[in-house]
Amino acid sequence: MGGPLLTMIVQRIALGVLLLFAVSLLIFAGTEILPGDVAQAILGQTATPEAIANIREQLGLDRPAPMRYLEWLGGAVQGDFGVSYSNRQEIATQIAGRLGNTLFLAAAAAAIAVPLAIILGILSVRYRNTFFDRIISIVTLTTISLPEFFSGYILMFVFAVSLQWFPSSATVYDSMTLLERLWAIALPVMTLVLVVVGHMMRMTRAAILNVLSSPYVETAELKGLSQSRIIWRHALPNAVAPIINVVALNLAYLVVGVVVIEVIFVYPGMGQYMVDHVSKRDVPVVQACGLIFASVYIILNTIADVASVLANPRLRHPR
């Protein structure tokens, strides 16, 4: 690995760290400027001023915001997100299992969506401008246009209510086997696949078609190579960089954007956990979930940038 390449990778990673710091500042500031008093919300409208002052002192809300931000950020870097206001339990301990559930759901959806999208994109290019290509384009455009909650309720009505093939609520337990877990999360996985596969497929198709217009592809066609061979041997390897980017963006969505899906199917993941505590005005939990979601999104995008540079040598030499 050459010096310029290593420098570029270090720069991308440093930019990701800087962006994460900026996001943490926005998350903390956003929760600080929310209307209302957290202490008042915890104790209720009948609380006395003395009780409110006591609870503010116990929670550290009487200290300056910059000091509380630095303490929160320092603890978060070490994996300590503080204590929940609603149940006085360690947030990191509560989040651990929830995050595992969310990652499991995202991984199951990605295992289906990523290869399916790439294969459909390649087939769409291979048979472009045919009836098959038009059908795939119409179906994927429809799935992209439908809101995720609408797709989830439609799948729930068809497969859980009408056919009764899968449970309507995706409840999972630690004692479940792998097959039992997969069966329980079948509907949220199907919903997530419908949401992301269309976008990945269309971007894969566009990236390969862009490469097919290159002069070296025209030369390969003049040599008499078959269309399938040109796509697999010449076009696809050179379209890897944009495909990696769109796959990484959709993987980030599978982890960060599952809030609505988890609420619909009552799945015990990070999204459901955050929504439950938003209603309780549990600020430390909201901050912790927001920071974790932002970290996952930034880390996956940073990995995509580095992978794109490694896959495409032309990106190593800025114009």
CATH number where 279 lies: 1.10.3720.10
User: Long-range contacts of range 36-42, CB-CB < 8 Å, 24 or more positions apart?
Assistant: 36/281, 38/85, 38/281, 38/283, 41/281, 42/85, 42/86, 42/281
Q: Is the pLDDT of residue 81 over 60?
A: yes
The torsion angles phi and psi of 90, rounded to 5 degrees, stand at -65, 125
Q: Is the pLDDT of residue 152 over 60?
A: yes
Instruction: Check residue 207 and give its pLDDT.
Output: 78
β-partners of residue 83 are 90
- In this prediction, residues 220-225 reach a mean pLDDT of 65
SS3 content of the chain, % helix, strand, coil (to 5): 75, 0, 25
Neighbour-count burial of 104, counting CB atoms closer than 10 A to its CB (0-12 exposed, 13-18 middle, 19+ buried): middle
Look at residues 61, 58, 86 and name the one whose alpha carbon lies nearest to residue 72. Answer: 61
Instruction: Check residue 55 and give its pLDDT.
Output: 67
Asked whether residue 51 is domain-assigned, the answer is no
Instruction: List the domain range (segments joined by +) for residue 109.
Output: 97-316
CB 22 within 8 A of CB 312: no
120/228: higher pLDDT: 120
Look at residues 205, 179, 68, 58 and name the one whose alpha carbon lies nearest to residue 125. Answer: 205
Instruction: Check residue 40 and give its pLDDT.
Output: 60
Task: Read off the pLDDT band of 315 (50, 70, 90).
Answer: low
Instruction: Check residue 316 and give its pLDDT.
Output: 58
Asked whether residue 234 is domain-assigned, the answer is yes
CB 196 within 8 A of CB 113: yes
CB 102 within 8 A of CB 271: yes
Asked whether residue 161 is domain-assigned, the answer is yes
Instruction: Check residue 302 and give its pLDDT.
Output: 82
β-partners of residue 157 are none
Instruction: Check residue 127 and give its pLDDT.
Output: 80
Asked whether residue 69 is domain-assigned, the answer is no
Look at residues 231, 227, 165, 164 and name the one whose alpha carbon lies nearest to residue 204. Answer: 231
Q: Determine the Cα angle at 296 with ends 30 and 24, to 5°.
A: 25
Instruction: Check residue 77 and give its pLDDT.
Output: 84
Task: Read off the pLDDT band of 171 (50, 70, 90).
Answer: confident
Asked whether residue 241 is domain-assigned, the answer is yes
Cβ neighbours of 295 (radius 10 Å): 16
Asked whether residue 60 is domain-assigned, the answer is no
Instruction: Check residue 145 and give its pLDDT.
Output: 83
- Using CA atoms, how far residue 256 sits from 3, 25, 252, 308, in Å, is 34, 19, 6, 22
CB 316 within 8 A of CB 34: no
Distance between CA 140 and CA 134 in Å, rounded?
10
Task: Read off the pLDDT band of 260 (50, 70, 90).
Answer: confident
Q: Is the pLDDT of residue 121 over 80?
A: yes
Least confident of 35-39, 114-118, 191-195, 299-303: 35-39
Tell me what the pLDDT averaged over the chain comes to.
79
Cβ neighbours of 34 (radius 10 Å): 12
Total domains, the chain = 1
Q: Is the pLDDT of residue 197 over 70?
A: yes
Asked whether residue 182 is domain-assigned, the answer is yes
Asked whether residue 86 is domain-assigned, the answer is no
Q: Which two structure tokens, joined as six digits, stand for 56? A: 């503010």
